[in-house]
Amino acid sequence: MHLTTPTSTIQILPEVIANQIAAGEVVQRPESVVKELVENSIDAGATEITVVVKNAGKSLIHIIDNGKGMNKEDLSLACRRHATSKISTIDDLYRISTLGFRGEALASICSVAQVEIRTCRESDSHGWKLTVDGTSEQKIEPFPCERGTQIFIRNIFFNIPARKKFLRSDLSEFRYISETMMKFALARPDIRFVFYDGDSKIFDVKAESMQERVLSILGSDVEKALIPIEFENTILSIKGFVGEPRLARQSRGLRQLFYLNGRHIISKTLNYAVFSVFEHLIEKNSYPLFVLFISLDPEKVDVNVHPQKHEVKFDDERSIFSAINLAVSQALAKVHLIPTIQLQEQTAQLPFVAQRPDNQFLVNKLTGEIIEPTTNHTEQFQQYTDSFASERSITNATITPRANHFLTPTSSAFDSLFQGNTTQLNATQQQPNDGFEASKKSYFQLHQKYIVVENPEGMMIVDQHAAHERILYEKALQMMNREFSQSQRLLFPEEKTVSASEASYIKELQSELEALGFEFTFLSDTTIEVTGVPADIPSGEEHSALLEIIDTYSEYEKIAPSARRENLAASFGCKTALKTGKVLSIPEMTQLVDDLFKTSMPYVCQHGRPIILDFPLKELDKRFGRT
Ligand code: ADP
Ligand code: MG
């Protein structure tokens, strides 16, 4: 037996090893270093931040800021673990307004790279220089420099070969860094960011407005298709932009950005809050473009749930979800969109294109994205003819919603479409109408499901159920505002047994249900006598309507608990609207389409699905080879 072994097998790790372990979480690749250091520069109040990387940051990351700098004492502490100037009590953790707070970034970075920090405060006559690499003691000496801080990170992972081996190609690592730089630039339009890859300048964006910054970073070709968002309720405010559906692309990359109190965050749930509005307006497997800035009381969110602070935990995620969902639907509803059936088109390419030396394909230097070689026209033609041969022409087509410019908010859109003055038509609609006359507009019901209507540009197809649902939705909202009411008395009052939860919904919504035209009295806690129902309830469904509407309401309420009236109106529309399979006469179709165009948003239903599709003649002409 070897009694010489230490009595305890557990030992406290030396600080440098502890830091290297922490670095495993904080510093995964050169991009993590860039992120942490730029966050520090922002927290130091810098208005100009320059980042230079060499070999995708593997050999050098150099960050220069004009922030407040550090004195000798702070500098000597900055690289120690748990050294932070940003929080001092546990309560501070719950009201964080800086990007950093964990006090481990510099310590982690210093344990895995060669680091030099030069820093000077405004009030000091000279600055200081700190050097440290991995295991060595840090050295601090006086150094002449301007106000602010410069940090050089050389040879990342020089002392941890296993980590170095896991780094990806320069192209991939550079892409991570440039995406992070763009995310910072979008987050803080008030700061000038300069970004170099070796000697070549990738971007230099001066302080500007939020909209200007979005265009500087995403490219000015998106300008006309950005829909601004400004939304505020009691718990949060949302600002930013969503792209029109036609900007949706198959990559998510830099196209889906959420910022929470200035910090870029990743959240599947919030992404879905936007996506669900677009879902039926864009192609399958594509994603809408958005840049949204959420401001929220810092106490209502925990930012300390992820080592790199990418994810956060909201106290009340559901309300945030519904607020975003509502903000985006309202913004989309303002720009009237009719999806147009079009042939497949080449999508616009991203900026900053650089050619590969082998001339094989193009690489977007900024995003690292590989762009297809020049289109092969023979192949394209083949696809085109194939789609005819297999009679998949319509399902193959892309649905590209476009802004509708021929509406004025005050007049009925449908009137202006047919009798309206042509001065409202935009350039694309001013082509000759080929003798189209308003009186000749014809209606045709397709499979008891869709209404086909001829219009000056070609034709449109209206979903009869969705159209009626939209009409009834708005009508219900008006009735709940007591603008009018329509009820029908039941010949034979109906006694119904209700569950406790149904009863509580009915009581909670009593005045709204009465406004819609329901008349009822509670005979006991679980029985109710219905004596009248809304005039729109189709005959034969009078007796089941109330409970079915309540049932649908309870589903909607789970998604958007605060939108009580909207939920009830939507449930009413959904249960009462004409069903697929209902045969419609010409006057009924005319009335329905007319009423639809009198609503505030004829093109998209509350769930974001299209109500109308547009088939322009010119697209048909293209398909028939007449152009
Ligand atoms: P944290 O940001 O979580 O506080 P860091 O390890 O990133 O932890 O930084 C430690 C401290 O060093 C910061 O709290 C700050 O006081 C100081 N510091 C780091 N970078 C800068 C900078 N660019 N300018 C001024 N002070 C800095
Ligand atoms: Mg930090």
Cβ of 307 less than 6 Å from ligand 1: no
Q: What are the residue ranges spanned by the domains of the chain?
A: 15-207, 211-345, 429-627
Substitution candidate for ligand 1 out of 40, 120, 128, 138 with most atoms within 8 A of CB: 40
Residue located nearest, by CA, to atom 4 of ligand 1: 84
Instruction: Tell me if the domain spanning 15-207 has CATH number 3.30.565.10.
Output: yes
Taking 80 as the threshold, does the pLDDT of residue 201 lie above it? yes
* Mean pLDDT, range 581-587, rounded to an integer: 91
Task: Output the CA 311–ligand 2 centroid distance in Å.
Answer: 16
How many whole angstroms from 610 Cα to the centroid of ligand 2? 46
pLDDT reading at 310 higher than 90: no
In this structure, of 36-50, 61-75, 176-190, 357-371, the range with the lowest mean pLDDT score is: 357-371
- CATH of the structural domain 429-627, one choice from 3.40.605.10, 3.40.30.10, 3.30.1540.20, 3.30.43.10: 3.30.1540.20
Is pLDDT above 80 for 600? no
Distance CA(120)–CA(129), nearest Å, equals 9
- Residue 76 has a pLDDT of 93
Which ligand is closest to the CA of 22, given by its number?
1
* Span from the CA of 99 to the centroid of ligand 2 (angstroms): 7
Q: Is the CB of 49 under 6 A from ligand 1?
A: no
Q: Is 453 in the pocket of ligand 1 (CB under 6 A)?
A: no
Check residue 283 and give its pLDDT: 74
Q: Is the CB of 22 under 6 A from ligand 1?
A: no
Q: What percent of the chain has pLDDT over 70?
A: 80
Q: What is the atom index within ligand 1 of the atom nearest the CA of 78? A: 12
Q: DSSP characters for 528-585?
A: EEEEEEETTSPTT-HHHHHHHHHHHHHHHHHH-TT-HHHHHHHHHHHHHSPPTT----
CB 64 near ligand 1, within 6 Å: no
pLDDT reported for residue 337: 61
Task: State whether the beta carbon of 70 lies less than 6 angstroms from ligand 1.
Answer: yes
Q: For the chain, how big is the Rg over CA atoms in Å?
A: 31
Q: Does CATH place domain 211-345 in 3.30.420.40?
A: no
65 lines ligand 1 (CB under 6 A): yes
For residue 320, what are its two tokens?
């945030």
With beta carbons less than 8 A apart as the criterion, state whether 50 and 73 touch. no
Q: Is it the case that residue 449 has pLDDT exceeding 50? A: yes
The pLDDT tens digits of the residues spanning 94-105 come to 777 788 887 889
Of 95-99, 146-150, 596-600, least confident by mean pLDDT is 95-99
Of the candidate ranges 45-59, 122-136, 341-355, 384-398, the one whose mean pLDDT is the lowest: 384-398
Number of H helices, E strands in the chain: 19, 27
Query: Which of the residue ranges 301-315, 355-369, 430-444 would you say has the lowest mean pLDDT?
Result: 355-369
- For ligand 1, say whether the CB of 120 is within 6 Å of any of its atoms: no
pLDDT of residue 433: 38
| Of the ranges 59-73, 258-272, 398-412, the best mean pLDDT one | 59-73
User: Residue 420 has which token pair?
Assistant: 């309206």
| Atom 16 in ligand 1: residue holding the nearest Cα | 85
Q: What is the pLDDT of residues 37-56, one digit of tens each?
A: 999 999 999 999 999 999 99
Q: What is the mean pLDDT of the chain?
A: 79
Q: What is the pTM of this model?
A: 0.61
pLDDT in the model for residue 25? 74
Which atom of ligand 1 lies nearest, measured to the CA of 85? 14
